[in-house]
A and B are shown apart, each in its own frame.
Chain A
Amino acid sequence: MQLGKGIGLTVIPTSQFKTVRVAVDFIAPVTVSELSKRILMAQLLETSSQDYPTQTALATALSNMYGASFGVNVFRYGRINGLRFSGNVVDGALLGDPDVLATMFNFMKKVIFRPLVKDDAFESQTFTLQQRNLIAYLKSLDDDKQYHADQQLQNMVFSDLPELATSLYGDAATIATLDGQGLLADYQNLLATNQVQVTVVGDVTEAQIKALMGDWPLPDRTPLKESPIVTRLRQPLIEKTEQQAVAQAKLNLAYQLPIGYRTEQFYAALVFNGLFGGTPISLLFKNVREKNSLAYFASSQFDAFTGMLSVRTGIESHNRQAVEAIIAAQLTAIQNGQFSDELFDQVVASLINGRESRMDSAQALLNQAVLDELVGSHVSTAEWVQQVSAVSKQTVSAVAQQVTQQATYFLEGADDNETAPLS
């Protein structure tokens, strides 16, 4: 339902869970600066507000709501990014405290609409501390070599679309230029103009939530029209190798697969990815890890919003060529229909298991509801299962034939020559 122009509310009533989960999303088209600003806003709003000026005050309010959780984070689907306030509170019926949900909504209202402000700016001490913490955190992220490799690949693939390349944790250089006054103005603008999507999963009704939000200051706004789906021309193949003192090398590959979310070939693309490297029974897993002992992991991911298919592996540096050859051979095998009926059936069964399992996660139900709103369509689990079951081996091969390689990133271990073979 609509609470106002550009303000949507979706309630998923269920008694399956011990908690009620709430998300309040402010959604707009993504840009590099928009994304970085949202990330710093998230950091500030998660730790302070006018009514809860310190972390301790905020944490105490949550603890008193029986350890309710509250967080602010940023998401991105293709061309769209959102600032999300989420709360999760134990169902009052289990606590003998029916008011706890109302307390949570009141808390969220205060945190969202009354940030810690002084002289028309985010309070300067808190702002400086959180800006510094965030930049330090961003630098530490690189300690995780998988993250480093993933981000390098992302930068290569989206060199022409930096808003898609930027890490979801933000861009340190952009964040360093922000100030408390400008960011507050941006935040107030976001509150007044962004598409709002409120989603609730739990033992509640739409009327109940509407009443709890009755006094939220949310004026009408222009609904978001942009589609999250990115369409691109075919890109030239690029390659990059970097050396670092790591024991395990990372080989990451990117491909283009121009099939959009819920388009005609979408379900076949899901089966293709499951067969290629998206499930633990996939060809990549079997052939790179199990048969050849070349890697501890090898997997693929498909993003139907950007059309990017990627492969990640952790290997020994001297095995690079062998691993690349095996990956290419698996893609060719799928293109030529060279995979068994049993494996194909296993992949379909595994995807169905994954999809049906998501009905047991309040978070997954919530995310799906938001996505449905963004793309303006809904597919029930039963319909989804039917669509995936209807995919044939031939359509999967046809999908595989549309895959073109776009980028190779290799993080090479500096001293790998001294490593003895393992087996």
Chain B
Amino acid sequence: MRQHHYPKLAETLYSDVLPNGLTVHLLPKAGFHKTYAVFTTDYGSIDNTFVPIGTTHPVTLPAGIAHFLEHKMFEKEDHDAFDDFAHFGANSNAFTSYTHTSYLFSTTRHLKENLETLLDFVQRPYFTKATVEKEKGIIGQEIQMYDDDPNSQAYFGTIAAMYPDLPFKNDIAGTLDSIAAITADDLYLAHKTFYQPANMSLVVVGKLEPDETMGWIKANQAAKLFDRPMPIIRSQNEAAYQGGLIKRSTLTMPVERPKVSLGLRGVDQLPEGWDRFKYEEALSLGFDLLFGETASEYLRLYDQSVLDDSFGYNIELQRGAHFVILAGETADSDRFEAGITEILENAQAYLKKAEFNFETVKREAIGSTIASFNSLEAIANQYDDWLYGGTTIFDEVDVIEAVTFDDVLTAMQSFINLDTVSVQTILPGS
């Protein structure tokens, strides 16, 4: 077991890779009463085309399969894993993103039993035709709920418009039609390929004793038989996506005010590891300088009522895509779009004007990162073993400190490309 102390965070992380390939990270938090564990596979909604383990030809499974699998993992032949957790007082849950599926619990008591439940239920699939059919009703309701939510429509709709030729265009949960085609065999196939221990990581944070906890995990894994780890072949463009883009789309929904989202698709090739993380932080600081609450350009648009407190932006860097979405409600969608676009067009000049503010936004980023370590959930959910090749959120303060103003100018120059902007507007109406 490796031990790594992070003095700036006053935290010590314990890590190991087990013989079956599973990566484990343990973070004891003094004074905490709760333990939070999350078991993640590097498999999400975009991974529906892949070569199943033991075969040579790629298959494409219906959109929404990863999320469907997440729902179905809990149900076993004679019980529900949810009840096993409940028996020991734990809360359990799961979530699926574009690139990951995570299973989690939080508990103040019976950590060993709950950890074993987590490992066992995720590693022992059980699907039948009947249980798969029943789930379609539940997931159908979930899809409809998001269909009614304009914020969800704005966000995911913008991503779909930026990547019309990639699985990013599909909702994470799929559609009523796509999930109707899912079978138990599909679920077994996806599980066998992507739930290999070598494609998974377990992060446990909070009240725990590292040696004891690692011992429980090792014993649990050693008692199970796994296939030899096999490399996973999935359909994914390694180079930045250069395909089509829907420049403009308009949706009518029963909303009070127009909602406008601008999606900026990155078409630059990203560096690896530490440098990738640094690129992301440089972008984040760059957007703070242009559109953050301390930015004078933001204040100008705010005072002109072009945008208001509903305005926000998200920088997303994921396996297979990176993009920024700027979104808000506005009385006048044309002015909103023009105001944002003008700042993007002149980003380098505005950034240089805002250089005096660089240390301020950097300070804020550092403080917010340290503060996020108050939350067991934030630590464990954000921990990602794959994206930055060994650099993790524990290195984030160092990464931010290393970013120079020139790094910001370079990253923003490399990222912003006005030819790959997609604008989605949701207009009031029924």
- A residues sitting closer than 8 Å to B (CB atoms) are 14-19, 54-56, 59-60, 62-69, 88-90, 94-95, 129, 132-133, 136-137, 139-140, 142-145, 244-248, 280-281, 289-290, 293-296, 314-316, 342, 345-346, 349-350, 352-354, 356-357, 359-360, 362, 422-423
Q: In the complex, what residues of B have CB within 8 A of residue A18's CB? A: 9-10, 370-371, 373-374
Q: Which residues of A contact B109 (CB under 8 A)?
A: 349, 352-353, 356
Please name all residues of chain B whose beta carbon is closer than 8 Å to the beta carbon of A423 when the two chains form the complex. Answer: 133-134, 136-137, 140
Contact A248 B150 (CB under 8 A): no
With A90-B367, A142-B256, A143-B150 given, is the CB distance from A352 to B89 under 8 Å? yes
With CB as the reference atom, state the residue of chain A lying closest to B426: A143
Looking at B224-232, B288-296, B313-321, B380-388, the stretch in contact with chain A turns out to be B288-296
Complex CA gap A247/B150 in Å reads 12
Kindly specify which of B210-218, B236-244, B298-306 makes contact with the partner chain. Answer: B298-306
Which chain A residue has the least Cβ–Cβ distance from B367?
Answer: A66
**B86 x A350 contact (CB < 8 A):** yes
Verify A356–B363 contact, CB threshold 8 A. Answer: no
Q: A18-B370, A67-B363, A360-B376 are in contact. Are A316 and B141 (CB under 8 A)?
A: yes
**Contact assessment for B254 and A356 in the assembled complex, using a CB-CB cutoff below 8 Å:** no
A95 interface neighbour in B206, B292, B367, B430, Cβ under 8 Å: B367
Q: Are B254 and A140 in contact (CB under 8 A)?
A: no
The 7 A-B pairs at the shortest CB distance, nearest first, are namely A66-B367, A349-B89, A293-B137, A67-B367, A296-B141, A59-B293, A67-B364
Chain B residues near A349 (CB-CB < 8 A): 86-89, 109
B345 on the A face (CB < 8 A): no
CB atoms of B309 and A362 under 8 A apart: no
CB pair A360 B33 closer than 8 Å: yes
B34 within 8 A of A: yes
**In the complex, what's the smallest C-beta–C-beta distance from A379 to chain B, in angstroms?**
16
Q: Mark B67-106, 1 if CB is under 8 A from A, else 0.
A: 0000000000000101100111111000000000000001
Q: Any chain A CB within 8 A of the CB of B343?
A: no
Cross-interface CB contact of A67 among B32, B136, B140, B366, cutoff 8 Å: B366
Q: Which residue of B lies closest to A136 (CB)?
A: B257
Would you give 12 A-B contacts (Cβ < 8 Å), ordered by A?
Answer: A55-B293, A63-B360, A66-B366, A67-B366, A94-B8, A94-B10, A95-B370, A139-B257, A143-B150, A143-B256, A342-B87, A357-B108
Specify which chain B residues have a CB less than 8 angstroms from the CB of A359 in the assembled complex. Answer: 33-34
A244, B89: Cβ atoms closer than 8 Å: no
- The residue on B at minimum CB distance from A354 is B91
Interface presence of B142 (CB below 8 A): yes
Q: B284 to chain A: closest CB distance in Å?
A: 12
| B363, closest chain A residue (CB) | A66
Interface presence of B107 (CB below 8 A): yes
B window 252-295: CB within 8 A of A: 253-257, 292-295
Q: Chain A residues near B31: list those with CB within 8 A.
A: 14-16
For A17, list chain B residues within 8 Å (CB): 374
Task: Contacts A349-B89, A356-B108 given; indicate if A137 touches B134 (C-beta within 8 A).
Answer: no
